[in-house]
Each structure stands twice: as C-alpha cells, then as structure tokens.
Amino acid sequence: MKRILLMACILAVLMLTACAPTPAATLETYDDMIVVGFSQVGAESDWRNANTRSMQEALSEQNGYRLIIDDAQQKQERQITAIRNFIHQGVDYIVLAPTTEKGWDTVLAEAKAAKVPVIIVDRMIEVEDDSLFTCWIGSDFRKEGDEAVGWLAQHFGEKPLRIVHLQGNLGSSAQLGRTQGLDAGLAQHPAWELVYRDTGDFTQAKGQELVEALLTQGIQFDVIYSENDNMAYGAIDALKNAGLQPGEDVTIISFDASHRALEMVMAGEISFDVECNPLHGPRVQAIIEKLEAGGKPPKLTYVEESTFDAATITREIMDGRGY
C-alpha cells in the first residue's frame, strides 16, 4: 500500500513539473511588452499600498507593460532574492523600493553585469559605485523632518516639551532623515526632552503597542513624533483607550499625509502632517519611456511635497488628492 502511495506521489510531482512553465518561457509570452520586476518593501502602511497601486496602474498591460511585483515583507534578504530572480527571468528593468540604505552593492553589481537597468524609488540607497543604479526618484526625508520640527518650534517655542519618538524601519532613509530632523531640533531647543524612542516598524499595530506600554509604565509626555501615519493611528487608538484626547492632551506629529490621516488633521487629532508622496508609478513610467527612447533621465529627482495642519487643510484640498 505504502509503495502504491509513493508511486502516486512521484507521478503527481512529475506531472506538475511538466506543466509548470519555466520563468524564461513565461516571459517569452510578453515579447511585445516591457517587462518590469518591482521589488516592493512590503504592505506595512497605507502609503505603501498607495505606492503599489500607483505602480500597477501606470505599468499596466494597457500601457504596454508586464509588471512582476515581489512583496519583501520589510526584509532586505527577500529583496535581494527577488532581484536575483528578476535577473534570472530576464526582465527589461528592475524597480527597487529599498527597505534600508545599505547592503545593495553585490546584488546591484549582478544586475549591472546582466545589463538590467535598475531604477530606485522612494527611499535612497548607499552604494560605493553609483553606476550600479540608473536613477532614483523619491522624497527628501531630512527636509520632511525639518518641516515637522519647524512646526513644533513655531507652536511651542521654548516651552518644555516631553517628546515620544516612534521611529520607522531602522536604517531606511525615511527613518534616518526624519530622525535626523528631530535630533537637530532637540539640539537646538534645550527645553525639549526626548522621553522615549523606539521603532514601530511603520506599522499601526506596533505604534499602538509602544504607546500602550508607555502609558502602562506611567511615562508622561506632551508630543508624539510618529514617523508615519499608520504608527500615529495606533498611537491615537492607545491614547483614546486610555481616556486621553489626541490633539488636546497630546500633540501628534505625523508623516505621509494619507487621506485617513488628513481626516484626523481636520478633526484636530493629528496636529501636523508632512506629506510623503507615494504616486511614483507615472514617474517610473516616464523614466522608462525616456530610456526606451535613448534618453538619459536625471540621476536624482526629489518630488514636491506639502505640509498640513488644521489651519491649512480644507475639504477641497483633500478631495483633490490621489491617496
């Protein structure tokens, strides 16, 4: 009986293997299309999901693209594997939204050797040789941090402030730039005190968990500087569950300015939100079109971004936004 079962299993595996197309065979079907392998950080935030949608809409089959997305679940090693798979599959372009800044030299040298152009989006990378990527488009994260600190200084001046800092994914440009902005603010304002700092990995669940722990420990604070909206949502839930009113008992500073967060700015729960624009799909499409036409896109492009508080936000502004 055991032997019959074993034979049946072997037969099933052989049949499945025979039916499954090899990656190369799969791509041959798309000869008339531009094949793009997109290594995405994950699905950790509303920002990230808006970014993925933007890429899907712009690099669509109607527009002449075959887009292969790999979700790295916020793990760099998964991105490295995905890039190697894309090279092996023979894609025309690789788009990389990097988790962290460091650690890309080896795999990008492999892409360069295979002559696959690499476009970096959103966060930056730090490599020895900048010919390892074709170009980058994304946000000025340090400027975003400076904007947030500027708002705090304008509203509180030299009043004593106890600040809780929820950091994003450690080592990502978004975390590094926004943290540098706050550190510069702390150095300039001796009355400001950093009472707590930890990473919430850009997720709502982690943001809530960290603030709940602080409240349980009885740590007192006036401001939460949350390095993205999702962690701010979690922090707000934790405050409300503890009977505190965000915006009144605690000032919330956040980043991304996604639709849900701007509703909270309107409601006075988030006091200041710095935009981080996720709509990179059409920008990447324009870069690829330029490269296809033999052109040379700028090496580095910073996108324009705004800031929002209760004094500047209007329903009209919100309705005109794409995320």
Which residues would be at the binding site for ligand AHR (CB under 6 A)? 44-45, 47-48, 122-123, 174, 202, 228, 255-256, 276
26, 20, 38: which is closest to 86 by C-alpha?
38
Residue 164 CB, shortest distance to ligand AHR, in Å, is 18
Nearer to ligand AHR, 165 or 189 (CB): 165
Nearer to ligand AHR, 202 or 272 (CB): 202
Residue 298 makes CB contacts below 8 A (sequence gap 6+) with 135
137, 264, 272, 123: which is closest to 202 by C-alpha?
123
Tokens describing residue 6 = 């074993």
Nearer to ligand AHR, 48 or 206 (CB): 48
Residue 156 CB, shortest distance to ligand AHR, in Å, is 24
Residue 21 CB, shortest distance to ligand AHR, in Å, is 34
318, 199, 310, 209: which is closest to 252 by C-alpha?
310
Residue 103 CB, shortest distance to ligand AHR, in Å, is 16
Residue type, 75: K
Residue 58 CB, shortest distance to ligand AHR, in Å, is 18
Residue 113 CB, shortest distance to ligand AHR, in Å, is 28
Nearer to ligand AHR, 91 or 276 (CB): 276
Q: Which letter, b or e, does each residue of 284-322 get, where b requires 16 or more Cβ atoms within 10 Å of its Cβ?
A: bbebbeebeeeeebeeeeebebebbbeeebeeeeeeeee
Residue 25 makes CB contacts below 8 A (sequence gap 6+) with none
Nearer to ligand AHR, 140 or 222 (CB): 140
- Quote the DSSP letter at residue 130: G
Nearer to ligand AHR, 238 or 257 (CB): 257
